Structure 1
Amino acid sequence: MCALAVVAASCSASQQQDARADPNPLAVTTTFADTARTTTSLSEEVVAPAIAEPSTDQAATTTLSVTEPTNASTGQSCQRLLESEDQPWVVVNDGVMGGRSQGAITTETNRMKFTGNIVTDGGGFSSVRRLLNDGLDESDRLQLRLRTDERRYEVLLTDIDSQAYRVTYYAPLETEGDGWQVVDVSFEALEARIFGRRVDAPSFQPHKVTTIGIILADGADGEFSLELDWISACSGTL
């Protein structure tokens, strides 16, 4: 099992340029700067408040770029997403829109711990994400080993095509209790959104992935805590 090694570091001003993540989509380039244009070709249905652009508060090195096979069980094949120091995790909060939510990354027993405090007045979200440009080819789902405080976290993903429309794909992390557990997230369960609005967009394309992350935007004030041991890209029968 490959653990996530995380070392906190300061995030440069260049990483803060126009980083767009709300509880909702972020279009991310290699510098977390969104240079794409929104078009009118995607139809929108409001399902959450529109959120302004977030601040990028913290970077940390961790694991997730090169892959290695994990033991297959039942008929599934999984590739563990491994360490990449040149593509660090970045904490993205709601500060740019006047929000006061806070998030931070630390390391405990070689696992990434994402903690902070959500303030719904002015934003109400905190997320951790990183660039990822390989590792999901031929996969149909993610598998994560994690432990949460039972709040409603979501996985977020972008691909190179969705960035052109500022689309991000989301799916809930369905956990049971607060103990360590393995959670599967099917790419078929992903929902396309632009700034908190569901949109009619093409399906997520794993082979074109550009960003992976976890976000908390459950509409509740208060402290939060999530620990992440590993993430794998899987295919085949569970």
Structure 2
Amino acid sequence: MTTPPSQPAPQIRVLASGASFNGWASLNDTIMGGSSRAGCRVTDEGLRLEGNVVSEGGGFVSCRSPVYKPPLDLSAFRGLRLSLDGQGRSFKFAVACRDGVLGLTELIPGGLRWVSTVPTQSQGTTVVDIPFDQLKPVVRASPIKLPLRFDPTCITRLQLLHSRFGDDGEANPGFRSGSIALLIRSIEAF
């Protein structure tokens, strides 16, 4: 009996691009008493986040995916690639995973997220690769010091935030309050 040749793992998997950002929605600092206002809308170019960021009382605006059911299994890939027009701002890309911490992830207020800073060029499109092994565990912008490992087999949600806090919990040097117009062109696994 001969074994069929194995198929190579795909090089790229498009998770969202252009008008396929259906179901993505905004989540802003108003959930914690802030007054930033921004909304997400799908266009042929991608997902637009437009509004106004206010640093007092919160200081963040974001777009996030719907909850993936079943969770995404991206174990055949090394990381995620974002293509976005971000006006020179620094963003935080956050990934939520099912379970992960002895079944306690959903019991943590704000939830455990795996994050990375995404700097952008002041003009044009920025393409950023985020290897899975560079994602850092945080809860509400506070880094977790436990020896945790990211599990790419159970991704439940993706989110891109413009926040006054960076992935290290310190001030985000690329944060600007005021009018914001972000275009997320695509998110791919590579």
Q: TM-score range by the shorter chain?
A: 0.7 to 0.9
Aligned match of 2:132: 187
C-alpha displacement of 1:84: 7.3
Identical pairs, percent:
24
Aligned match of 2:160: 214
Aligned match of 1:11: none
SS of the residue corresponding to residue 206 of structure 1 reads coil
Name the amino acid aligned to 1:120. S
Runs of 4+ more than 3 Å apart: 82-85, 107-110
Aligned match of 2:86: 148
Distance 2:93 2:178 in 1: 20
Aligned match of 2:142: 197
SS of the residue corresponding to residue 211 of structure 1 reads strand
Distance 1:188 1:91 in 2: 27
Distance 1:98 1:84 in 2: 28
Could you say what the CA RMSD is over the residues aligned between the two structures, in angstroms?
A: 2.3
SS of the residue corresponding to residue 153 of structure 2 reads helix
Distance 1:155 1:186 in 2: 12
Distance 2:132 2:125 in 1: 22
1:161 aligns with 2:96: no
C-alpha displacement of 1:227: 0.6
Q: How many residue pairs align between the two structures?
A: 159
Q: Structure 1: which 5+ runs fail to align? A: 1-75
Output aligned runs, 1:57-136, within 5 Å.
Answer: 77-82=11-16, 83=20, 85=22, 88-130=23-65, 131-132=67-68, 133-136=71-74
Aligned match of 2:6: none
Distance 1:84 1:110 in 2: 10
C-alpha displacement of 1:146: 1.3
Distance 1:232 1:198 in 2: 25
**TM-score (structure 2 length as normaliser):** 0.75
After superposition, the Cα gap between the structure-2 partners of 1:84 and 1:92, relative to the gap in structure 1 and judged at 3 Å, is: closer
Per mean C-alpha deviation after superposition, the further-off stretch among 175-184 and 111-120 is 175-184
Distance 1:175 1:95 in 2: 25
C-alpha displacement of 1:106: 2.5
Aligned match of 2:167: none
C-alpha displacement of 1:200: 2.2
Task: After superposition, give the CA deviation of every residue in 1:168-217 in whole Å (9 maximum; x if it has no partner).
Answer: 11101132332123211111221111122111241221111111110010
Whether the 8 Å contact between 1:113 and 1:225 is mirrored in structure 2 is yes
In terms of fraction of residues, the more strand-rich structure is 1
Task: After superposition, give the CA deviation of every residue in 1:129-184 in whole Å (9 maximum; x if it has no partner).
Answer: 11232252322210122111111111100111243442111101132332123211
